[in-house]
Amino acid sequence: MRATAVKVADVELEVFDSGSGTGAPILFLHGMLGFDRRQPFVSLLAENGRVVAPSHPGFGASSLPDWLDSMDDIAHLYLELMDRQKLDGADLVGCSIGGWIAAEMATKAPERFRRLVLAAPVGIKVGPADKLDIPDIFAMPDADVQKLLYREPARMARDTSKMPEAELAALFRARETLALLVWEPWMHNPKLKRRLHRIAAPTLFLRGVSDGLVSQAYLDAYARLLPDAHTLTIEGAGHMPELEQPGSFASAVNKFLGA
């Protein structure tokens, strides 16, 4: 995938693009760790069509202006990016916080998307006001966070002592940006829940069976708010099935998009 810099509004976006393909283009929105084009699922998704994957503002090499502080801001930004990239009629795939952004986009411009895949999405509040739907990952040790994120945390662990300085800086920058975007209110937009009925595209909700952040009850409640939604569980994965089970993830996505 080629990486280019695209300026939208006053934001310098790092955008990865696999080029042309025979199927509908896919706009892929990454999760809380950022986008890595070397991950196996990327080439699997690109087998049937063009994949465009921006790094969210504050992630990767994308800039983060002072005025941008919400997922709603990013959703508007990406709709303009779609204009630049000529992505009308695209399929939209979002993971974790990327699923939140995807849902925001699909409520604002439902006519622009053919199909929608939300993998372990956050973004709404479904439980009581005095209880968090999504655990507070900033209030616990990193080892406990890894257990929530992965079915096999030891296998997925990254040795930060061996990471290049640029990758290490990007990792901590992404964590700082994540806190800015999801802190208050925690992991949701109170208005999104009341807009989801506008989504017109058939939607697939995916969840790793061992996801410690997004429960099955949360995912089911999310899906019920859309007019045409289905759910699917991926075995052997936690919150990031695209990383732990890239083959199963890409197969489920490609099957749904090609239906």
- Going by their DSSP bridges, the two strands 11-17 and 51-54 should be labelled as antiparallel
Instruction: Decide if pLDDT at 59 tops 90.
Output: yes
CB 104 within 8 A of CB 190: no
pLDDT band for position 49 (cuts 50, 70, 90): confident
In which band, very low, low, confident or very high, does the pLDDT at 23 lie, cut at 50, 70 and 90?
confident
Buried b (16+ CB within 10 A) or exposed e, 220-231: ebbbebbeebeb
pLDDT confidence of 19, banded at 50, 70, 90? confident
Range of the domain at 231: 2-257
Whether pTM > 0.95 for this model: the answer is yes
CATH number at residue 95: 3.40.50.1820
pLDDT at 160: 86
Over residues 167-184, the pLDDT tens digits come to 899 999 999 999 999 999
* Structural domain count of the chain: 1
pLDDT at 76 (0 to 100): 98
Q: What is the mean pLDDT of residues 57-86?
A: 96
